[in-house]
Amino acid sequence: TPSLVPLVVKENWVKDLMGLSLKNVNVKFFKGDKQVFSDFGEMLFTHFGVSGPLILRASAEIKDFTEKINLFIDLKPALSNEQLDIRIVRDFNTAQNKDFSNSLNLLLPKKIIPVVIMLSGINPNKKVNQLTKAERSALVGILKAFPLTITKTRPISEAIITSGGVCTDEINPSTMESKLVSNLFFAGEVIDVDAVTGGYNLQIAFSTGFLAGEHIKSTKSIR
More confident position, 157 or 135: 135
Closest CA to 3 of 223, 137, 170, 159: 159
Taking the C-alpha atoms of residue 222 and residue 212, their distance in angstroms, rounded to an integer, is 12
Domain around 185:
164-218
Mean pLDDT of 199-206: 83
Per the structure, the count of domains in the chain is 2
Q: pLDDT tens digit string along 54-71? A: 999 999 888 777 788 999
Residues 136 and 184 in one domain: no
Residues 17 and 38 in one domain: yes
16 assigned to some structural domain: yes
Q: How confident is the model at residue 186 (pLDDT cuts 50, 70, 90)?
A: confident
Residues 146 and 173 in one domain: no
Whether the model pTM is above 0.85: no
Residues 43 and 6 in one domain: yes
Q: How confident is the model at residue 95 (pLDDT cuts 50, 70, 90)?
A: confident
Domain with residue 152: its CATH number is 1.10.8.50
> Distances in Å between the alpha carbon of 70 and those of 4, 7, 43, 134, 190?
18, 12, 16, 24, 31
Say what the pLDDT of residue 47 is: 96
Taking the C-alpha atoms of residue 205 and residue 207, their distance in angstroms, rounded to an integer, is 6
More confident position, 187 or 163: 187
Residues 143 and 178 in one domain: no
Say what the pLDDT of residue 54 is: 95
Residues 29 and 57 in one domain: yes
Say what the pLDDT of residue 199 is: 78
Mean pLDDT of 99-127: 96
Say what the pLDDT of residue 87 is: 96
- 222, pLDDT greater than 80: no
- 43, pLDDT greater than 90: yes
Domain boundary among 107, 123, 157: 157
Q: pLDDT tens digit string along 74-91? A: 999 999 999 999 999 999
223 assigned to some structural domain: no
Residues 109 and 203 in one domain: no
